[in-house]
Structure 1
Amino acid sequence: MVSSEIVDKHSAASQDIGMARRKPASLDLAALLPSWELSLRAERKSAQTVKVYGDGVRAFLRWCAQQNQTPALDRNLMKAFVADLLDAGAEPATARSRQLAMRRFSAWLAEEGEIDDDPLLGLKAPKLDAKVTESLSEAELRRLIKVCVGKDFRDRRDEAIVRLMVETGMRAGEVCGLTVDDIDLGRGLVTVRRGKGGKGRVAPFGPQTGVAIDRYLRARRSHLLAETSALWLGDRGKGLEYYGLHKTLKWRAELAGLKNFHPHLLRHTAASRWLAAGGSEGGLMAVAGWSTRDMIDRYTRSTAADRAAAEARSLNLGEL
């Protein structure tokens, strides 16, 4: 009788364990997405990174609904999704980003035990076009700075931001994340506490940028949020967030008559100006926060011919 009870208890326990380990009949990707985004935030991924990854998964879910397909982590389904994106006119970089989001999502699901294996492991990404990334000319850059010159709060702020971005090559998100304590006017240094990939760095700036920042800091003293730590403040008693910075810079570019402007163009320009002035590639990588040299080629391809011509003239190889 006792042994029979032991067997029954053991059988019941086995059933409980089996139920605990049982996977759902079908994986609900939409329901699991918020958990992945929470995990990304816990890993201290930037808000922009979390948004890009989330948008990639949501784009896949929308596509599945349009195709009357059940969302699944299937390699052929993923290839069809990417192919449709490209056929619809999406940039290869966009298709690559969407696919990467799904691959990262799939890897996380495997790590969390939601699936036994990662079915998207090793899936090749779409090949990117070798596009030429434009930079601002010296004349265009001077026009952009000129339209920022003025004595009111917004003018002082925008001139300081433009000068800092075009000299250091800082990303817009990094600029928005600066605090007052990150600026060392005496030594001409700005500290990026957390750049892309969670990496910090220190970048130098010259006297003209230092003067522009100093003017802004003096104007900042009378702002309603002067006691807060954020370096850049809005002109209506608010802070200056990522999209506010984009809107402000595009407005200044319109005043300067610059077409097809986007804030990241200032980073491209900073890299091109650095190399054109004779700066080393290693120094540029350190200042801009790049870990691989291929980013230099990508950002400065449009001005490579000009630099090569200037170098050739200085070498005087035709003097025989």
Structure 2
Amino acid sequence: MGMIDLDDLRELKNDFATELRRKNRSKQTIDGYLVRIDYFIDYLIENQLPTTVPEVTRDHLGSFIEHLLTRPNKRTGEPLAAEYVRGHYRSLQQFFKYLVAEEIIPTNPFDKMTLPDAPEKLVTVPADDQIRALLTQCEGTDFESLRDTAIIRLFADTGGRAGEVEGIDLDHLDFEEDSVLVTGKGRRPRSMPFGDKTRTALRKYLRARAKHPKAKNDEPSLWLGRQGPMTAHGIRQMLERRAAAAGIDHIHPHLFRHWFAHNWLANGGQEQDLMMLAGWRSRQMLARYGKSVADERAKAAHRRARLGDKL
């Protein structure tokens, strides 16, 4: 067995993962870092470049980012999305920041590098009629209709993330407060309140769930499918299936989050309250969510203010 090179990227990425676990980062976050570091390592090997950290230079990192920016998407043939490339940049930047902090390298090759520009891409907020059409497709008293109605209403009523809604257990529901406890990014717990229609949908689903074969043996997961607990992927597939039946081109869980943020602000909700409900720490998220209809909200606010009519 050969000697292990402790300065090799392949060894150090595992040390970085250990540090992330120590900081209580989620498995999904850690896996995302490791996948991007692996892409960089593969690039170095394919181009016969060094994988020993002290030998990795700013030019190596820059050429890798340039490679990503010019590489075609295998599915569409179009260049990779700039935001996707920015994700690689940020992950490697954090990795090398860790290497400097651990004094494995004296200086950070990312110093004086800049994040690749990404053209602004506005997310289209679903129309109210589209969400109503989804709910219409779920009308019925069978198990899947009751379950899907509850899921869609919970997404729209709370603005919860896909992973948050997927991870709900039975004992996370509080019908005295009409709220549900979820675990957000950074493993931060958050209570999401819901309204009367969502409460009714959840209660109907729970009665059907109690008779489901997979509900035996004290299964804690709230959402059940044919094979057992539903995953976030299963929830996305359900939404795609319901959207196709409703004649809606495309809808996924995060679009409900944009719909929730837009409607909260459009109905006069406070920004600080929205940040608490959505689990945001940065005010930048307020500008991002529902931005495609921000003009609509501004015009509505102008009509309510009627400033010129006061003269």
- 5 Å-filtered alignment, 1:224-263, equals 224-226=213-215, 227-234=218-225, 236-263=226-253
Question: Larger Cα Rg: Structure 1 or Structure 2?
Answer: 1
Code of the residue aligned with 1:154 in structure 2: it is: E
Aligned residue pairs, count: 296
Q: 1:223 to 1:113 in 2, by over 3 A?
A: farther
Gaps of 5+ in 1: 1-22
1:169 and 2:152 aligned: no
Of 307-316 and 282-291, deviating more is 307-316
1:160 aligned partner: 150
More deviation, 81-90/285-294: 81-90
Matched to 1:77, the amino acid is H
Structure-2 separation of matches of 1:41 and 1:278: 40
CA drift at 1:117:
4.8
Within 5 Å, give how 1:6-17 maps onto structure 2: none
Counterpart contact for 1:274–1:284, Cα < 8 Å: yes
Cα distance in 2 for residues equivalent to 1:114 and 1:270: 45
**Aligned partners of 2:221 and 2:229 also within 8 Å:** yes
Alignment root-mean-square deviation, CA: 2.3
Shift of 1:183: 1.0
Q: Does 1:143 align with 2:133?
A: yes
- CA separation of 1:25 and 1:229: change in aligned 2, threshold 3 A: closer
Moved over 6 A (4+): 23-26
Tell me if structure 1 keeps the 8 A contact 2:44–2:50: yes
Moved more, 292-301 or 242-251: 242-251
The superposition leaves residues 74-102 of structure 1 with CA deviations (integer Å, 9 ceiling, x where unpaired) of 22211111122122322221111111111
Superposition TM-score, scaled by structure 1 size: 0.84
Counterpart CA distance in 2 for 1:26 and 1:225 is: 48
Q: Is the 8 A contact 1:134 1:302 kept in 2?
A: yes
Q: Is the 8 A contact 1:160 1:216 kept in 2?
A: yes
Q: Work out the percentage of aligned pairs sharing the same amino acid.
A: 35
Q: Which moved more, 1:25-34 or 1:158-167?
A: 25-34
Match of 1:84 in 2: 67
Residue of structure 1 equivalent to 2:207? 218
With the length of structure 2 as denominator, give the TM-score of the two structures.
0.87
The CA distance in 2 between the partners of 1:276 and 1:33, in whole Å, is 45
What SS does the corresponding residue of 2:211 show, helix, strand or coil? coil
CA displacement 1:189-248 (0-9 Å, x = unmatched): 1112x21122222121100011111111111112234212211122x1411112222222
- Structure 2 counterpart SS, 1:203: strand
Question: Structure 1 CA distance, aligned partners of 2:135 and 2:45?
Answer: 48
Are the aligned partners of 2:159 and 2:258 in contact in 1 as well (CA < 8 Å)?
Answer: yes
